[in-house]
């Protein structure tokens, strides 16, 4: 149970009664690996037990993990939803069991926002808009711009919202045409494979918009294999700013990166501790993040932890 109760002075990080169950998406990207490491590290540092499970990209695995945490009567359940829809049933089960749920990184599309206590993560629409805003500037003098898009996992909040935000930003500028758009599942291999197909059927690509660094890095391999120069012959804008992406930006192979921070661990510890102590938390906590040009990447790289 998690009642902080009268006279209980022990609340807070050191309370070994607090047990949290966390269901992670998988290990699809550098971002995800950094996110897992940061969350596990923050809980270890706080001395809070974290039960961790990896859903390997499958919603059914996540639902199973959440049910198992309910069964084990953990104090708080946190998870990063693989996709946006289809959560109402299991979230109602957690609610009926009196176990608070925290969403990290990705949203659910449930109408009933009493099904979770808080959603901690980025605003993916703004990320898409930031990519679009850079594109508007970069191609200010161009007449026609052929864009190909490498989308994230189908149905995932960051794929839906980064597609949306980007389109919103370039709407009204007729010279931009998204000539191809397909999912690369947020992986390097996926990005490479889809980009190979794009290159075969489209001789005149000006820009790749990849929903994450890893797919952009895969696209770089495909572009180079086709005898073209990434960052020059074909411009690339991505989202995340993990170390490998930042290196490619510093090297001029990627042209611009919109940051998405995976460092959610410390804030998640705060949220679950507050909930455990009977306090209330903000329904929506938006991660602070920035954008990077080549010069900024060169400057930031030496201190980049992930």
Sequence-distant (6+) residues with CB within 8 A of 117 are: 100, 101, 102, 271, 275, 281, 283
We find the least distance from the C-beta atom of residue 210 to ligand AHR, in angstroms, to be: 10
Instruction: Check if the beta carbon of residue 48 is closer than 8 Å to that of residue 13.
Output: yes
d(Cα 186, Cα 181) in Å, to the nearest integer? 14
Provide the β-strand partners of residue 79: 23, 103
Task: Show the site string, 287-306: x = touches ligand AHR by CB under 6 A, - = not.
Answer: --------------------
Pairing assessment for the beta strands 145-151 and 118-121 based on DSSP bridges: unpaired
Site string for ligand AHR, 162-191 (x = CB under 6 A): ------------------------x-----
Shortest distance in whole angstroms from residue 244 CB to ligand AHR: 11
- Of 38, 75, 105, 117, the one binding ligand AHR by CB under 6 A: 105
Assigned token pair, 198: 């794009």
Smallest distance, ligand AHR to C-beta of residue 16, A: 31
Q: Minimum Å distance from CB 92 to ligand AHR?
A: 24
Residues 6 or more apart whose Cβ sits within 8 Å of residue 36: 24, 27, 52, 54
Is residue 130 close enough to count as binding ligand AHR by CB under 6 A? no
Residue 212 lies near ligand AHR (rule: CB under 6 A)? yes
Beta strands of the chain (E only): which ranges? 19-24, 49-54, 76-79, 101-104, 118-121, 145-151, 176-183, 207-210, 235-240, 256-259, 284-286, 291-292
Say whether residue 106 binds ligand AHR (CB under 6 A).
yes
Q: Residues 235 to 254: which contact ligand AHR by CB under 6 A?
A: 239-240
Q: Name the pairing type of β-strands 118-121 and 284-286.
A: parallel
What are the backbone dihedrals phi and psi of residue 173, each rounded to the nearest 5 degrees, phi first? Answer: -105, 95
Least distance from ligand AHR to the Cβ atom of residue 156, Å? 7
Q: Which is nearer to ligand AHR, 129 or 240 (CB)?
A: 240
- Contact with ligand AHR (CB under 6 A): which of 15, 28, 84, 129? 28
Considering only 23, 24, 29, 110, the residue that binds ligand AHR (CB under 6 A) is: 29
Choices 13-21, 24-32, 189-197, 271-279 (CB under 6 A): range interacting with ligand AHR: 24-32
State the first-to-last Cα distance of the chain, in angstroms, to the nearest integer. Answer: 36
What is d(CA 218, CA 283) in angstroms, rounded to the nearest whole number?
36
Binding segment for ligand AHR (CB under 6 A), chosen from 25-33, 225-233, 244-252, 275-283, is 25-33
The single residue among 128, 158, 216, 230 that binds ligand AHR, judged by CB under 6 A, is: 158
User: How far is it, in rounded angstroms, from Cα 229 to Cα 226?
Assistant: 9
Q: Supply the minimum distance, in Å, between the C-beta of residue 38 and ligand AHR.
A: 13
For 7, other C-beta atoms within 10 Å of its C-beta total 6
Q: What Cα–Cα distance (Å) separates residue 222 from each residue in 6, 180, 200, 237, 287?
A: 62, 16, 10, 15, 32
CB of 20 to ligand AHR, least distance (A): 20
The smaller minimum CB distance to ligand AHR, of residues 74 and 260, is found at 260
In whole angstroms, the minimum distance from the beta carbon of 28 to ligand AHR comes to 5
Position 260 contacts ligand AHR (CB under 6 A): yes
User: Which spans of this chain sit near ligand AHR (rule: CB under 6 A)?
Assistant: 28-29, 31-32, 105-106, 158, 186, 212, 239-240, 260
């Amino acid at each position: 149970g998690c009642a902080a109760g009268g006279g209980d002075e022990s609340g807070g990080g050191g309370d070994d009664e607090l047990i949290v169950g966390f269901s992670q998406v998988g290990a699809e990207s550098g971002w995800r690996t950094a996110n897992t490491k940061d969350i596990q590290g923050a809980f270890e540092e706080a001395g809070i037990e974290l039960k961790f499970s990896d859903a390997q990209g499958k919603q059914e695995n996540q639902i199973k993990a959440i049910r198992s945490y309910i069964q084990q009567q953990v104090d708080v359940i946190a998870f990063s939803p693989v996709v946006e829809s289809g959560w109402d049933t299991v979230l109602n089960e957690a609610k009926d069991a009196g176990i608070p749920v925290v969403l990290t990184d990705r949203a659910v599309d449930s109408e009933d926002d009493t099904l979770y206590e808080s959603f901690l993560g980025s605003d993916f629409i703004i990320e898409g808009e930031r990519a679009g805003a850079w594109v508007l500037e970069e191609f200010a003098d161009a007449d026609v711009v052929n864009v190909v898009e490498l989308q994230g996992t189908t149905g995932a909040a960051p794929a839906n919202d980064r597609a949306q935000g980007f389109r919103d930003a370039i709407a009204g500028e007729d010279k931009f045409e998204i000539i191809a758009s397909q999912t690369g599942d947020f992986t390097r291999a996926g990005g490479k494979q889809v980009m190979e197909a794009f290159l075969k059927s489209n001789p005149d690509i000006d820009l790749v918009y990849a929903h994450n660094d890893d797919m952009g890095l895969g696209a770089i391999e495909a572009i180079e294999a086709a005898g073209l120069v990434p960052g020059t012959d074909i411009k690339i804008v991505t989202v995340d700013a993990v170390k490998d992406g930042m290196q490619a930006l510093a090297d001029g192979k990627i042209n611009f990166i919109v940051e998405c921070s995976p460092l959610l661990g410390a804030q998640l510890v705060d949220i679950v501790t507050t909930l455990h102590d009977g306090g209330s938390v903000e329904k929506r906590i938006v991660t602070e993040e920035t954008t990077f040009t080549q010069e900024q990447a060169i400057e930031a790289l030496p201190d980049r932890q992930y």
